[in-house]
Chains A and B, each alone.
Chain A
Amino acid sequence: MFNTDTILKSLNDVQGVHQSLIVGRDGFVINSMGDMEADSVGAVISTAIGAIEAMGRDCKQGGLFEVMAEYNGGVVIAAPIGKEAVLGIVADESANLGGVRFVVKKSMKELEKVM
């Protein structure tokens, strides 16, 4: 049986991932696993996903599945879990992006069931 702990652990087990977290749409952390300051990461992920959704809405692109931001040091992936929460993943440059996105997609189905 899945729960948010097991799902976050499976995400953190992917090479290069060092933080995974579930936050409410208001940015307050529901659950997190990793070595970062989850409260501040959660706050920026919720505002980022809100802004990206607004961009999709204004550009008439429909609902958002996932957003990935690439930086010098790695990537941040965020994906809405229904209307109330967001999954966030932080990975370094050693991560295989295709592998991370595959696990995120698989985890989303599990998260939608347990949330």
Chain B
Amino acid sequence: METQKILDIAHVSFLDIIRASIVQLGAAATKGMLIRNAMATAEKIPEVSFDTLDEFVASIDIAGNPVTQVEGKAVHYGKGLFGLPSCPFAPSIGDYKSVYGGLPEDYHKITEDYNKQGPVTGALKVGHGAGVSPFCAVHQPLRGALKDRIRIGGNPISILQLGCKSGSGEKGLAQQWIDETDFTAAEVEKVLDDNMCCYAIKVEA
């Protein structure tokens, strides 16, 4: 008898809770809840300091910084431009799809709401076009809020969500945040060719 895959039921339940919440509370309230949870998680992560951006980049290999600890190992393309090869929610999505065959239809409502201009996503420099799934409303604000847990050279940092790619290959770019960096939309798209997520880290003077 062939060994079958063991499902992580926590993954399936989490995605089902999001689906139920969209129906029972609405997409906007669900999105707000996901963002608040992500920000609360970020607040619990201990602060760390690095002398230089290079030292931060070197810490990726040993998961020695909070960003890597929550999302996995990113690739540094130079000057603070990063690509993340794997979406941290890919295993959850895979488990859910293996049961239901696809993601819930209502999920697009969260993505649409998340991409609207908003004060919180504006302050965190996430969304604004860079959302491609409801999971971006967890992952991007979590990473964005980690800016307050990391200092480089004694200075605060900004983490800007430049773009993201869905499992189907559709890319979403946040032109507003790209314009705050020295990178172009074409460079972000190129990073997304080989990655699922693209962001920049800027050390504030």
B154 interfacial by beta-carbon distance below 8 Å: no
Which residues in chain A, 9-32, are within 8 Å of chain B measured between CB atoms? 24-28, 30
Contact with A along B118-156 (1 / 0, CB 8 A): 111000000000000000000000000000000000000
Residues of A within 8 A of B23 (CB): 54
The reply to whether B118 and A28 contact each other, CB–CB distance below 8 Å, is: yes
B28 interfacial by beta-carbon distance below 8 Å: yes
Query: Which of A24, A28, A30, A50 sits near B25, CB closer than 8 Å?
Result: A50
Asked whether A28 and B120 contact (CB < 8 A) given A43-B33, A47-B33, the answer is yes
Count of chain B residues near A, Cβ 8 A? 16
A67 interfacial by beta-carbon distance below 8 Å: no
B4 interfacial by beta-carbon distance below 8 Å: no
Count of chain A residues near B, Cβ 8 A? 14
Please classify the interface of chain B as helix (H, G, I), strand (E, B), loop, or mixed, using the class held by over half of its residues: helix
Shortest Cβ distance from B23 into A: residue: A54
The reply to whether A28 and B26 contact each other, CB–CB distance below 8 Å, is: no
Which residues in chain B, 95-124, are within 8 Å of chain A measured between CB atoms? 113, 118-120
State A24–B36 Cα separation when bound (angstroms).
Answer: 13
Listed residue (A24, A50, A53) with the most chain B CB atoms within 10 angstroms of its CB: A50
B88 interfacial by beta-carbon distance below 8 Å: no
Shortest Cβ distance from A55 into B: residue: B24
State A47–B31 Cα separation when bound (angstroms).
Answer: 10
The reply to whether B29 and A47 contact each other, CB–CB distance below 8 Å, is: yes
The reply to whether B24 and A28 contact each other, CB–CB distance below 8 Å, is: no
Q: 10 A–B contact pairs at CB < 8 A?
A: A24-B119, A25-B28, A26-B113, A26-B120, A28-B32, A28-B120, A46-B29, A51-B24, A51-B25, A54-B25
Q: Which residues of B contact A (CB under 8 A)?
A: 23-26, 28-33, 35-36, 113, 118-120
